[in-house]
Structure 1
Amino acid sequence: MAPTSLYPRNTVKKIVKAHADDRPLSKNVDILIFLNYELFLMELVKEASIASKQSGERGITARSVRKVRENCLRKFKG
């Protein structure tokens, strides 16, 4: 049975190469980018959950995500 992919690897590679400005890239750079993206999403959801609980909301809302978005983006800027 062939392993399934979590994301379209060839598409991600093409996007990364388009933004690389002719710099050499590691063989698995797309995997690292995907994992960083996953970590960012997990952090965003965690922070949004905390913000929504502090606001007295029942669940995560778009407003709670907008509150924490900038801070999470700064953490993952690199």
Structure 2
Amino acid sequence: MAQTLYPRGTLKKIVKAHANRPLSKNVDILIFLNYALFMQELINEASIKSKRSGERGVTARSVKKVSEKTLRGFKG
């Protein structure tokens, strides 16, 4: 049996409890992919911010500065 990156059943239960709507068969995959894209964008923006600030690497401060903007872009 192949190991998954996340517990599909658990994710579906959580989303179903909060959505109050019918869910498609592969909604968990779409949620995971959207999460992965969000994290990639967040790290890219934080990297740009930290380079402009003269920092050596991505820091918590640079992530905090770009998190609100990135969240707005993924609000849907």
TM over 0.5: yes
Amino acid paired to 1:14: K
In structure 1, list runs of 5 or more residues that go unmatched: none
Aligned counterparts of 1:11 and 1:25: Cα–Cα separation in 2: 14
Aligned counterparts of 1:53 and 1:3: Cα–Cα separation in 2: 40
| Deviation sequence 1:11-45 (CA, Å, 0-9, x none) | 11111011111x11100001100100000000000
Structure 2 residue 51 is matched with structure 1 residue 30 = no
Q: Which residue of 2 aligns with 1:64?
A: 62
Runs of 4+ in 1 over 2 A off after TM superposition: none
SS for the counterpart of 1:72 is: helix
Identity across the alignment (%)? 74
In structure 2, list runs of 5 or more residues that go unmatched: none
Judge conservation of contact 2:51–2:57 (CA < 8 Å) in 1. Answer: yes
Aligned counterparts of 1:46 and 1:11: Cα–Cα separation in 2: 29
> How big is the alpha-carbon RMSD for the aligned residues of Structure 1 and Structure 2?
0.7
Matched residues, number: 76
TM-score, normalised to structure 1, is: 0.93
Q: Which residue of 2 aligns with 1:44?
A: 42
TM-score, normalised to structure 2, is: 0.95
